[in-house]
């Protein structure tokens, strides 16, 4: 566009040189108008094209890598915004925003259509399949170097193979059961550290590794589920035993309280006062039986010291 603008300006100069208006020319007014309008039009168009080729806009969340006649200007990376640049420079726009690369067993979830899960061997020789997502972004300070040495397709060249290699190198250190259960977070952290080293060396900043799903062979998965079920049953039995133990302790305490109460009552029922209380209680019970609407015959033994006193109607 810059060269085209220059050509228009040159054409304008040539036009004004050869299209001259002389006083003796016919229709001098019309020729003057053509000369003026053509000059203005060509000047405006050529000027806009030249200025437009000098001004470049870098979109938000991106940087501009300048390439001049095939040579990458590694120290002249442009940040987002408006810039005045060499008109002969080619700008390569590269994103520095957070990107997510997913490898999944789900058909339409990963970056590639179909089963793209990472399959690797564990320490005990079993094969596990993993779904993984990597969050990363391009280092803006060395984006030009990344473009020069790797290219704009650094995701396919670096991110994908590095992630798959890191997972395979990590899972071989653990058993399948460990990866599936108690050491899952440890495996994820080790993959994160390994990828961070590989990415940093190549101008890529790792943000986080998400180990989303782990698929084990059916026999291993069934064994783990059986083990978990057995552990739950054991915990349930421990709870039942603890409950029974508490109940036994409660009954023991209750029996002790009853025994103590009986001893106190037995002591209180001895002597004259005790006999008097028993006589009163005995007569009270007879009175309630007597006044009862039921047809009840009561035979009450007595001696000299204990004569029942009944109300006779």
Residue 138 and residue 58 share a domain = no
User: Which residue among 63, 94, 125 closes a domain?
Assistant: 94
Q: In degrees to the nearest 10, what's the CA dihedral of 292, 293, 294, 297?
A: 60
pTM of the model: 0.60
Residue pLDDT, tens place only, 268-309 = 666 666 666 667 777 777 777 667 776 666 666 655 555 554
**228 within domain boundaries:** no
pLDDT tens digits for range 4-16: 666 666 676 666 6
3-state secondary structure of 137: strand
CA atoms within 13 A on the CB side of 282: 15
Tell which of 216, 249, 272 closes a domain: 216
Query: Does residue 125 form part of some domain?
Result: yes
pLDDT (tens digit per residue) in 238-250: 888 888 888 888 7
Q: In the numeric block, which tokens belong to residue 74?
A: 């590694």
Same domain, 16 and 69: yes
Domain assignment of residue 180, given as a range: 99-216
127-138 and 118-121 as β-strands: parallel, antiparallel, unpaired?
antiparallel
State the pairing for strand pair 118-121/99-103: unpaired
Element (DSSP H or E) covering residue 1: none
In a domain, 7, yes or no: yes
Residue 22 has pLDDT above 70, yes or no: no
Instruction: Answer yes or no: do 56 and 73 share one domain.
Output: yes
* Largest Cα–Cα separation, the chain: 173
Other beta carbons within 10 angstroms of residue 19's beta carbon come to 12
- Beta-ladder partners of 70: none
Q: Is residue 169 part of a domain?
A: yes
Q: How confident is the model at residue 182 (pLDDT cuts 50, 70, 90)?
A: confident
pLDDT at position 30 over 60: yes
**Domain check: are 103 and 90 in the same one?**
no
3: nearest Cα among 42, 49, 43: 49
**Which residues have C-beta within 8 Å of that of residue 168, sequence separation ≥ 6?**
118, 120, 121
Judge if 113 and 86 occupy the same domain. no
Question: Is residue 281 in a domain?
Answer: no
- Same domain for 90 and 146, yes or no, is no
| Residue 26: both structure tokens together | 């016919």
């Amino acid at each position: 566009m810059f060269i085209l603008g220059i050509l228009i300006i040159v054409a304008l100069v040539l036009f004004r040189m050869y299209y001259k208006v002389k006083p003796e020319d016919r229709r001098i007014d019309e020729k003057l108008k053509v000369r003026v309008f053509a000059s203005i039009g060509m000047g405006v168009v050529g000027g806009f094209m030249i200025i437009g080729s000098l001004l470049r806009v870098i979109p938000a969340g991106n940087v501009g890598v300048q390439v001049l006649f095939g040579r990458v200007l590694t120290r002249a990376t442009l940040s987002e915004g408006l810039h005045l640049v060499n008109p002969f420079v080619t700008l390569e726009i590269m994103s520095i925003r957070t990107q997510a690369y997913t490898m999944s067993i789900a058909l339409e979830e990963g970056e590639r259509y179909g089963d793209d899960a990472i399959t690797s061997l564990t320490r005990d020789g079993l094969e596990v399949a993993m779904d993984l997502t990597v969050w990363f972004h391009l280092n803006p300070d060395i984006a030009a170097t990344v473009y020069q040495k790797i290219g704009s397709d650094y995701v396919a060249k670096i991110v994908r193979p590095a992630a798959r290699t890191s997972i395979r190198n990590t899972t071989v250190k653990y058993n399948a059961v460990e990866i599936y259960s108690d050491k899952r977070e440890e495996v994820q952290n080790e993959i994160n550290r390994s990828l961070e080293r590989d990415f940093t060396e190549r101008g890529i900043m790792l943000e986080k590794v998400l180990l989303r799903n782990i698929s084990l062979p059916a026999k291993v998965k069934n064994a783990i589920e059986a083990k978990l079920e057995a552990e739950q049953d054991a915990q349930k039995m421990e709870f039942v035993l603890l409950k029974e133990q508490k109940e036994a302790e409660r009954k023991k305490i209750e029996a002790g309280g009853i025994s103590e109460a009986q001893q106190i009552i037995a002591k209180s029922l001895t002597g004259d006062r005790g006999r008097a209380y028993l006589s009163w209680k005995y007569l009270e019970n007879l009175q309630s039986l007597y006044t009862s609407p039921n047809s009840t015959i009561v035979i009450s033994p007595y001696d000299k010291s204990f004569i029942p006193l009944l109300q006779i109607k």
